[in-house]
Amino acid sequence: MKPHNFSAGPSILPEMVFKQAAAAIENFADTGLSILEVSHRGPQFVEVMHRAQTCVKELLGLTDDFDVMFLTGGASTQFFMTAMNLLGSDQIGYYINTGTWSKKAIKEARAFGNIVELASSEEANFNYIPKPNPIPGNGQFLHITSNNTIFGTQYHKWPETKMPIICDASSDIFSRPMPIDKFGCIYAGAQKNMGPAGTTLVILRKDMLGKTDRAIPTMLDYQTHIDKDSAFNTPPVFPIYVSLLVMEWIKEQGGLGMMQEKNEMKAKILYDAIDASSLFEGTAEQEDRSLMNVTFVCKDPDLTSRFLDVCTEEKISGLKGHRSVGGFRASIYNAMPQTSIQHLVDVMKEFERKS
């Protein structure tokens, strides 16, 4: 029996995607070659790239005003590429600090312009989403992290601002619809909710470019990858292909609206169990609780290791919380079945009964 995988990432993928990807490793598109060895400039993979870009546009409802890129370097590279490409040295970029990844984005961006930390929840160990009001309108953009894997918080209401939003959506991309008109750029590492590690999705509104006159290295220039259709150099062929399979699976499930319904239902099962428990308690403020990463602790810290041992016995994997929060973190991305969440809840209740 396969363990119930609550890992924050690399994370669970749909079972049918594993099967399709495994078949493509043996024989991709009836070429007799593996997806791992076909040319990235051959017609079979060029079609994959175009299908993947089309899926992104269809799922999110993108207009022709946006370009879609599949890059490398993870979201961490986008921390500085966004500022390098989209912010002039004399322009202001506003950032809301909601955790580890926001802090890193702020640090990297400061090399390329005037970065203002508009709000932060660090004083409460990032257990809520700060909501500055009003938001200044004199910046080039507002940068946010939509979901915080470590601290278990998520934006459920997008900031009201006239500035275009740059959003690190690494851990909740394709988990719900997004009001695209608010965003100038969305980027996401694949390995949380879109596919395997190795590629990074970047969605860029075309009018965001051309605002800086700095010299940008060729490989770090968005225009390079737009002009060459994400194939300026050899792209990460396999991660892009598997991400395509995941996006096609999402479409078959009913799209992002249906994903949101399922994710809300799954999260409610777990949060209700936590709230009803005398042994466990959540760490994030209720109005900002993440639908993707549920963080909770034992009220008696001495029981933490015992519960993790029980989880191992019950084939529950990846539940240990990040050291910044402690306790437990259940990552319940799109592909996580409700049965796995119910199994975790049953184990929690039985552990509480015996403790």
Instruction: Out of 67, 101, 103, 172, pick the active-site residue.
Output: 101
Alpha carbon distance 341, 17 (integer Å) = 20
For residue 116, give Cα distances in angstroms to 17, 85, 96, 150.
Answer: 42, 17, 9, 23
Known catalytic residue at 158: no
Instruction: Out of 67, 103, 168, 288, pick the active-site residue.
Output: 168
Instruction: Out of 67, 103, 172, 192, pick the active-site residue.
Output: 192
- Nearest CA to 320 out of 335, 339, 305 is that of 305
CB contact at 8 A, 297 and 281: yes
In sequence order, the 6+-apart residues with CB closer than 8 A to the CB of 272 are none
Alpha carbon distance 65, 205 (integer Å) = 6
Instruction: Find how far residue 288's CA is from the centre of its chain.
Output: 16
CB contact at 8 A, 203 and 105: no
- Nearest CA to 98 out of 77, 116, 133, 123 is that of 123
Alpha carbon distance 232, 227 (integer Å) = 8
Alpha carbon distance 109, 202 (integer Å) = 17
* Adjacency order of strands within the sheet including 183-189: 66-71, 200-205, 183-189, 165-168, 141-145, 92-97, 114-120
Known catalytic residue at 101: yes
Known catalytic residue at 192: yes
Q: What are phi and psi of 130, to 5 degrees?
A: -70, 145
For residue 236, give Cα distances in angstroms to 27, 69, 333.
Answer: 18, 12, 23
Query: In a 3-state reduction of DSSP, which class is residue 138?
Result: coil
Q: Which residues participate in catalysis according to the annotation? A: 101, 168, 192
